[in-house]
Structure 1
Amino acid sequence: MAIAKKAWNTREKLDREDSATRAQLLRAARSVFEQRGYARTAIADITAAAEVSRATFYVYFASKEAVFGVLAGEVRDRFLAAQELDGLDAEDPYAVAEATIAAYLDAYVENLAFLTVLEHQAITDPAMYALWEEIHTRPRGRGARYIVHLTQRAMADPVAPPEAVATAAGGMVAAFAPGVAKEPSTRAEVVAHLTAMYLRLLGVPLRSPAV
């Protein structure tokens, strides 16, 4: 009997996590956080936006902090996924640079408003600070390791240590993201410019234009 009850509780938990209502609450919470900021957002604001009761909110989340933490985790995962580029030849620095820059820029543009809220919350919330750091340090670490990989194969001659180049590349993308968010039509041009600058930092010669 105890085993059956445990199995039922596990299934019930999975049902809650996979629920369309949970997804609706997350969408509503993200929208409200982005509009009002963390401090000025109340659970009542989230439930009103999601058009559900307060009791329904507590079926899925224990608190405002909990739902914000889930959203922050999703943003972190989006940035990590931006570096999971299947089908690319790791030995082709041109293709890797362009694809990575484009994916990272898209991640920034898609999450710009929420990142602003997260950055502010990270000032006073150690858990959110850890997530904020992870969003930046893990991609930077991967980028630095890739630069080391290219350098060891004499395919790159970076102008600075790998960590510094990876940090600079991330900073450039972050600086250009607001402009692309405002003018999406500039995305292709910005990706081209960022890729060219990144290749310069890597010490990889630019490709000759096609004749």
Structure 2
Amino acid sequence: MTRTGRAWTTRTARDRSETAVRGRLLDAAEEVFARLGYGSATVAGIAAGAGLSRAGFYVYFASKEEVFAVLAARTRDDFLAAQDVPGVDTADVRAVARASTAAFVTAYAAHLPLLRLVEQQAQHDAELAAVWEEIQERPVRRAARWIRRLRDAGTIRPVAEPLAVARAVGGMSVQFARLVAADPAAHEGAVRDVTAMYLHLLGVEPTP
């Protein structure tokens, strides 16, 4: 069946790229994937969740696979953003450690169901495998660069090599984020405990 002449097919890629409707579709897709899993999620279900028809979905995405790939990339970007700490004095090691830990735990807990699906799908999709690798590695390597700069400046005395410390903190953050996903009330305690261990690994005394 030809779709020639339909108004929604004439929109440009730029028109489709960043709109409120596109964001609504992505949010609906994340909810559907998290609730039903990858195999059971459908275009119709995602469209309905966003208050659109199937035709409305196809204005923005070509397939279920495409919207999932975009979701995975958005989650990756959330984790990279979690390494930024706007409004925090970058010279204050304790403040940076706490702020970055809180952001990471919050992002991981919020996206946990989708992250599990990304990890599964990455096993047989090269594009998703690359995204999953970035989700795991880029925050760790970015933290390692920060730790190395502080160590070289004599500001901190980490108990191990910067990359090893960053991996240890990342692993702890993931485990505590899973607890927070199951019990959101545990968030403050999780951030406090991971930050305390982070500072210990950096060789920094916690705030009195």
- TM-score w.r.t. length of structure 2: 0.88
Give SS of 2:38's match: coil
Equivalence for 2:6: none
Equivalence for 1:118: 118
User: Which amino acid in 2 is paired with 1:91?
Assistant: A
User: Which amino acid in 2 is paired with 1:100?
Assistant: S
In 2, distance between residues paired with 1:173 and 1:185?
16
Superposed CA offset, 1:140-192 (max 9, x none): 11100111111112222212211111011011010011211222222222111
Equivalence for 1:96: 96
In 1, distance between residues paired with 2:61 and 2:20?
14
Equivalences for 1:85-164 in 2 at 5 Å?
85-164=85-164
Query: What is the deviation of 1:196?
Result: 0.7
In 2, distance between residues paired with 1:159 and 1:117?
35
Query: What is the deviation of 1:50?
Result: 2.9
Equivalence for 2:168: 168
User: Which amino acid in 2 is paired with 1:203?
Assistant: G
In 2, distance between residues paired with 1:89 and 1:55?
48
In 2, distance between residues paired with 1:151 and 1:189?
28
Equivalence for 2:25: 25
- TM-score w.r.t. length of structure 1: 0.87
| 1:188 equivalenced with 2:188 (yes/no) | yes
Give SS of 1:103's match: helix
Unmatched segments (≥5 aa) in structure 2: 1-8
In 2, distance between residues paired with 1:28 and 1:123?
24
1:155–1:204: 8 Å Cα contact kept in structure 2? no
Unmatched segments (≥5 aa) in structure 1: 1-8
User: Which amino acid in 2 is paired with 1:154?
Assistant: G
Superposed CA offset, 1:82-130 (max 9, x none): 1111232222211111111111111111111111111111111111111
In 1, distance between residues paired with 2:204 and 2:136?
24
Give SS of 1:123's match: helix
Count of residues paired in the alignment: 200
User: Which amino acid in 2 is paired with 1:158?
Assistant: P
